[in-house]
Structure 1
Amino acid sequence: MQFQGQFQGGNLQQQTQGAATFSFSAYQTEAFFDEMFTADGQVRSGYDVLRQRVEQLSSEELMSRQHAAERALMSMGITFNVYSEGEGTERIMPIDIIPRIIAAAEWRRLEQGLIQRITAINMFIDDVYNEQHILNDGVVPRDLIESSKSFLPPCLGLKPPKGIWCHITGTDLIRGDDGQFMVLEDNLRCPSGVSYMLENRELLKQTFPEVLARTGVQPISDYPTRLLQMLQHIAGRPDPTVVVLTPGIYNSAYFEHSYLAQQMGVELVDARDLVVSGGYVKMRTTKGFQTVDVIYRRLDDTFLDPEVFNPDSMLGVPGIFEVYKKGRVALANAPGTGVADDKVIYAYVPRIIKYYLNEEPIIPNVKTYICREEEDCKYVLENIADLVVKEANEAGGYGMLIGPQATKADHAVFRQKIRENPRNYIAQPTISLSRVPCLIGDHAEGRHVDLRPYILYGDSINVIPGGLTRVALRKGSLVVNSSQGGGGKDTWVLY
């Protein structure tokens, strides 16, 4: 996508003449791990060219480029919907134009760790719905699975095409005080945000083209091609018909659904466009019905087929699950995958990796207390003011308590929730997320970030070199979700 007319170039001397140049000299890392600067103010490896270029610009020019990026996002309709304020509100996904940079060696380790994790999780999901060795051996408690909202008994005995359940994964990573990456959670149902990753890169190509060229950044623009190749791989027939299934225009990620369909050159459909006929899923077209081979679904499992899951669903296609079971259509991600999305199951992933692969996790989990376990629950109730408490199946920053920032009344409410339903909660230490400089007005301030890399599982497991860096733009906030006031940054992975 092109942005001509949005950004103004010109002679550098003309841009900065008569105006003080921007400087990081007053930037404070404070007590946090900063990804651009060391505690004594030295610039970290990989950021040299960026710092040099940014400090050649005036503050006015840098802010002008920031505002141009924001206008480009709005003009292209790159928005999401927020429902938490009583009505649907459409907003742009805020972008900060100072990129986040990850060194090549560090990325290679992350890549290896994510491949290891997805391999084990896929084996786990397949086992849970089939032989259940891991449950019979007591490595993961059987009642934990059977009480999970995302465990779908109709999926028992399923064998998805090519044995792949989690085709698209967005794994959330964070860095703590020591700068080491940890896995915060796994997103395996309908992970969102990849369109923002792609568009942030296009905007940064216009904002700092010479820095990108000189820094040696791995490309991500082929993601739609890789996504389509993966979807075609699971079809089981040549030249398959692929569609993207959306819940509709009121979904918070509708822009992404339409964007990815357009980039792949496939049809974007909703439930009204699909019908089960003659034992196959067919799409209504102006030339009649066309058989669909692969569906990249962007709606939750339980809305997929009202005959099998939620009978009140108006978003799904009656009969589609039976077609899927017979192997006549492929679905990505496979129904039932959400059982590994449960935040309580997350706590068992290190054991899952050890069980299936006989390996230690390359990327560790955050220390997690499982409230269904008596000792852990007691600790959480006594130390709730110092912990982050999460509901098992909530996302987007909802159903969460950040103990140090909450009131005593909030603590009391969550204590009661935990006592009433301990299985539904986990708790973790409050991690001081790493920070990256952000442009705040005419100067830079540190803001906390996480990272969501995207992983495609087709003929092999493919980790896209980058991901969506989400930023807690509110000063002091640790919540990076866009629905909670967060924004995004471009993520540069070096060669």
Structure 2
Amino acid sequence: MPRSRALPAAPDWLSSYQPSDTASDLYASASPQTAAHWRTMARGLAALGEGHGSSGGGVQEQIARQIRDMGLTFRIAGDEAERDWPLTPMPLIIGGEEWAGIEAGVVQRADLLERLIGDIYGHGQLVAKRHLPAPILTGSPYFARKMPGMAPPSGHWLHVCAMDLTRGPDGQWCVLSDRVRLASGIGYALENRLAFSRATGSLLGDIHARRQAGFFSALREGLARDCQRDRPRIALLTPGRLNQSYSEQAHLARYLGFPLVEGRDLVVNQDRLFVRTIAGPKRVDALWRWIDTNALDPLSFDVRSTLGVPDLMATLPGGAVVANWPGAEVVESRAMATQMERLCPLLLGQNALLKSVPGWWCGQDGALAHAEAHFDDLLIAPAFGSAEGLGSQPVVGASLSPERRAALLAAMRQRPMDYVVQTLMALGQTPTLSAPTPVEQQLVPRPFSLRVFAARDGQGRWQVMPGGFARILPGDDETPALIGTGDLSADVCIADAQKQSSVGHTMLDAPGVVRGGAILASQSADNLFWFARYAERAEFTLRLLRALLGGSIEADASPAHQAGVGGMLINLLHAGGAVRAQGMGEPTLDICADALTEGELPGGIPSLIRQLQNTGRALRQRFARDFWLIASRPMPALRDHHPQTMLEVIEELIERLSALSGLIAENMMRGPAHAFIDMGRRIERALSICRVTRGLQASGQEGLNVLLELCDSQITYRSRYLSGAAPLQVLDLVLLDPDNPRSLAFQVEALVQRISGLPPLDDRNLPEQTLLDARAILAPLQAQAIADVDSGTLHAIEIQLLSLSDRISERYFLPNETVAPRQQGALLS
């Protein structure tokens, strides 16, 4: 056996590491055992890089590749486009003994938050006995005035909570903020671990890093425990795909096995909560909400909300679980944070294990005077989200101009209860891989905050995620954003002295072997249906453009735009909204270029690709990684209007769409989701066949050849007939041949099969109207001879297909939807 060649030693990235403050730096202050884990990780990452760290770009590129492959993205508020998730290779490493102290403090803090919320909305003893100033509650925009007196039947106000921590200059961990409104970051912590482990192989095992899967199992079991029936249905309520962290929510829902629903997917009936599905309403026992309380129920809170569920609050007395309890976020304000250490002995009978950043609410006696006396040494922040002179962002007193300082002090004197002041404190530091440069890579200190998560398990006890969501900042700027421009994220590893037992699972435990059974929400079915229609519509438009540019496989064929055929194809483009009306008299090349660049008309290729991608984003939890990588690719740029250049763009896009069709055919489970995506394709393709056949059947042999090309049936026709294109033979192949996957009859027969396989609303075993309508289209096609099929017949079939599409929408999709946004009949002529 040949000897393996010894690799050169990897460089020690930590040898020249010099933090500005050793007490707050995770590596500089680590125990010898934990420091050894840091060095093991640094050497391992360096060895993964090309040339063992000579440039350092190798490991970063491997991480970036995993991020792209997993489809991990985020959106900064105000951005329209998504960005790749900024995961840096070097994780935060915390020793097991140090973590034990953090864990105990987080559990205590979670108990404190639970007791505090229970008192605020329960007996109200803290306010009654003047332990808690009433304006801290009434001044908060998150105080739910309709919630006092309503208590969760399970007794649990919180199921998931988080705290932002950092290391202070004294080396002690302290709390920057509490988070019970949204558990943002919990999904990204999971994604960070998955991406890091896939890119770095055995490095996590080399430092004995604790696994995280047990935490997510506990979270799921904790929610299920408080429901009032076996095998409850738990859904994750999202604001929608435009939310900043929608990608995180979709990934988390897929990992946990929760349906991802929006408010419009849900309905309340007889004080029970249901999700609208293609098989009718299905009961939902618990909601893990990712929307604010004010948006949760427009009938109880903000009537302007379109994100919530009307009458949701009526389901709470009956046992519906909402995590976290509506109004819980009242404890998140900066004003409340100044009271936590004082309230801990009152509510728990013990001092706080995790201290808060020293701060004062200016509504209390003496606080404003203290703020004025030490203004330059303090951070001035809004007490309840925003305040006069600050907006929503805190400022350092010393950084203000004399004019702004005077204005802010005047506003604070007028309404002191709107402000909080805090001691200035530098964030802790952690080694971070410097940005790739031509010089040697190194680790540099950067400030960080660590979001730690706690969730109730199946026994109602708090379990703390072994790790968390690390946010590494470009400067010492403690802000509440999840992630911002210039920020990085990192995996968080809790490293033990001994290797963990191999007993356990890296993914969630399954209850047993199951097949099928997952619900398909009506909105998901709608999006699947229209995703396929947009894809098929785009492919048909591309085939029209290819035919216009002379893409026939006939070696001696004249260009399609001659002899009147081109005019017919342009009419089809115009009817489909791909080109403007005034373009009818333009040169063919200009018309084709317009269709490939038109981003405003609904039928232009960029518009169709954009609509396909927008619809696809709402289905992220259902699409495999390879599928979404293809679907999310940007529209290729058109360099010029030369025919060959346009044909290259057309061929690239047709190949992409064909690849998506292939992945659907080979990889998608045969269930209701596949049925709706196939139904969308079949209806759109059948409509296209009818329209193009009506336009070209009377255009002579040239038109028949183009018809065969557009229906992708040239090779089949040549293998069957030795003669040139003949009318009856061509029309029979593209209209009535049941074995041709591009024929009209094939599409309608596939529709009948898909609809007949969908779950019924009742158990009477009678065909529903959608199936009857589909059969009414298929039966005449199977009974007719091709000589009897004329333009009027095809036009009637188009009308029936559009009516069938409407019937599918009425039966399976959400109510009160109009077809206008989808351009249902845009091509009907």
Instruction: State the TM-score, normalizing by the size of structure 2.
Output: 0.54
SS at match of 1:454: strand
Match of 1:7 in 2: none
Shift in alpha-carbon separation, 1:217–1:404, aligned structure 2, 3 A: farther
8 Å contact kept, 2:87–2:488? yes
Instruction: Give the distance between the partners of 1:142 and 1:445, measured in 2 at CA.
Output: 46
Instruction: Please state if 1:91 is matched with 2:90.
Output: no
Q: Deviations over 1:22-75 (max 9, x none)?
A: 533332212453211259x99835424224434556324642111221232234
Instruction: Please state if 1:392 is matched with 2:383.
Output: yes
Match of 1:457 in 2: 456
Shift in alpha-carbon separation, 1:12–1:226, aligned structure 2, 3 A: farther
SS at match of 1:232: helix
Shift in alpha-carbon separation, 1:101–1:404, aligned structure 2, 3 A: farther
Q: How does 1:63-462 map to 2 (within 5 A)?
A: 63-84=57-78, 87-324=79-316, 326-394=317-385, 398-403=392-397, 411-412=405-406, 414-440=408-434, 441=436, 442-458=441-457, 459-462=460-463
8 Å contact kept, 2:368–2:416? yes
Instruction: Report the residue type matching 1:443 in the other structure.
Output: Q
Q: Deviations over 1:269-318 (max 9, x none)?
A: 11111111122111110100111111111100000011110010011111
Instruction: Give the distance between the partners of 2:430 and 2:76, measured in 1 at CA.
Output: 26
SS at match of 2:89: strand
Shift in alpha-carbon separation, 1:476–1:276, aligned structure 2, 3 A: closer
Instruction: Report the CA distance between 1:399 and its aligned residue.
Output: 2.1
SS at match of 1:155: coil
8 Å contact kept, 2:219–2:456? no
**Runs (5+) with no aligned partner, structure 1:** 1-10
8 Å contact kept, 1:161–1:235? no
Task: Compare relative contact order (CA 8 Å, sep 6+) and give the higher one, 1 or 2.
Answer: 1
Instruction: Report the CA distance between 1:146 and its aligned residue.
Output: 2.4
Instruction: Report the CA distance between 1:382 and its aligned residue.
Output: 3.9
Instruction: Give the distance between the partners of 2:382 and 2:126, measured in 1 at CA.
Output: 24
Shift in alpha-carbon separation, 1:159–1:227, aligned structure 2, 3 A: same
Shift in alpha-carbon separation, 1:61–1:312, aligned structure 2, 3 A: same
Q: Deviations over 1:381-436 (max 9, x none)?
A: 343332222223449x9522244555555545543443343222212122111111
SS at match of 1:83: coil
Match of 1:468 in 2: 469
8 Å contact kept, 2:66–2:199? no
SS at match of 1:144: helix
8 Å contact kept, 1:201–1:490? yes
Instruction: Give the distance between the partners of 1:469 and 1:12, measured in 2 at CA.
Output: 38
Instruction: Give the distance between the partners of 2:398 and 2:411, measured in 1 at CA.
Output: 18
Instruction: Give the distance between the partners of 1:42 and 1:476, measured in 2 at CA.
Output: 29
Shift in alpha-carbon separation, 1:162–1:480, aligned structure 2, 3 A: closer
Instruction: Give the distance between the partners of 2:89 and 2:57, measured in 1 at CA.
Output: 9
Shift in alpha-carbon separation, 1:409–1:193, aligned structure 2, 3 A: farther
Match of 1:8 in 2: none
**Greater alpha carbon shift after TM alignment, 142-151 vs 274-283:** 142-151
Instruction: Give the distance between the partners of 2:189 and 2:400, measured in 1 at CA.
Output: 32
Shift in alpha-carbon separation, 1:225–1:42, aligned structure 2, 3 A: closer
Match of 1:491 in 2: 492
Instruction: Please state if 1:23 is matched with 2:22.
Output: no
Instruction: Please state if 1:37 is matched with 2:37.
Output: no
SS at match of 2:202: helix
8 Å contact kept, 2:361–2:419? yes
**Greater alpha carbon shift after TM alignment, 200-209 vs 337-346:** 200-209
Instruction: Report the residue type matching 1:449 in the other structure.
Output: F
Q: Which of the two has greater helix per residue?
A: 2
Q: Deviations over 1:295-344 (max 9, x none)?
A: 111100000011110010011111111221x2241100000101111211
Match of 2:553 in 1: none
- Percent identity between the two aligned chains: 26
Between structure 1 and structure 2, the one with the greater Rg is: 2
SS at match of 1:450: strand
Instruction: Report the residue type matching 2:416 in the other structure.
Output: P
Instruction: State the TM-score, normalizing by the size of structure 1.
Output: 0.89
8 Å contact kept, 1:471–1:480? no
Shift in alpha-carbon separation, 1:42–1:126, aligned structure 2, 3 A: closer
SS at match of 2:491: strand
SS at match of 1:388: strand
SS at match of 1:183: strand
Q: Deviations over 1:93-119 (max 9, x none)?
A: 311111111111111111111111111
8 Å contact kept, 1:151–1:338? yes
Match of 1:6 in 2: none
Shift in alpha-carbon separation, 1:383–1:361, aligned structure 2, 3 A: same
8 Å contact kept, 2:112–2:344? yes
**Greater alpha carbon shift after TM alignment, 143-152 vs 447-456:** 143-152
Instruction: Report the residue type matching 2:355 in the other structure.
Output: P
Q: Aligned pairs, how many?
A: 476
Instruction: Give the distance between the partners of 1:415 and 1:240, measured in 2 at CA.
Output: 54
Instruction: Report the residue type matching 1:492 in the other structure.
Output: C
8 Å contact kept, 1:81–1:253? yes
Instruction: Give the distance between the partners of 1:480 and 1:142, measured in 2 at CA.
Output: 25
Instruction: Report the residue type matching 1:150 in the other structure.
Output: Y
SS at match of 1:266: coil
8 Å contact kept, 1:391–1:400? yes
Instruction: Give the distance between the partners of 1:478 and 1:139, measured in 2 at CA.
Output: 29
Instruction: Give the distance between the partners of 1:290 and 1:346, measured in 2 at CA.
Output: 41
Instruction: Report the residue type matching 1:299 in the other structure.
Output: I
Q: Which of the two has greater strand per residue?
A: 1
8 Å contact kept, 1:183–1:364? yes
SS at match of 1:126: helix
8 Å contact kept, 1:224–1:263? no
**Greater alpha carbon shift after TM alignment, 293-302 vs 106-115:** 106-115
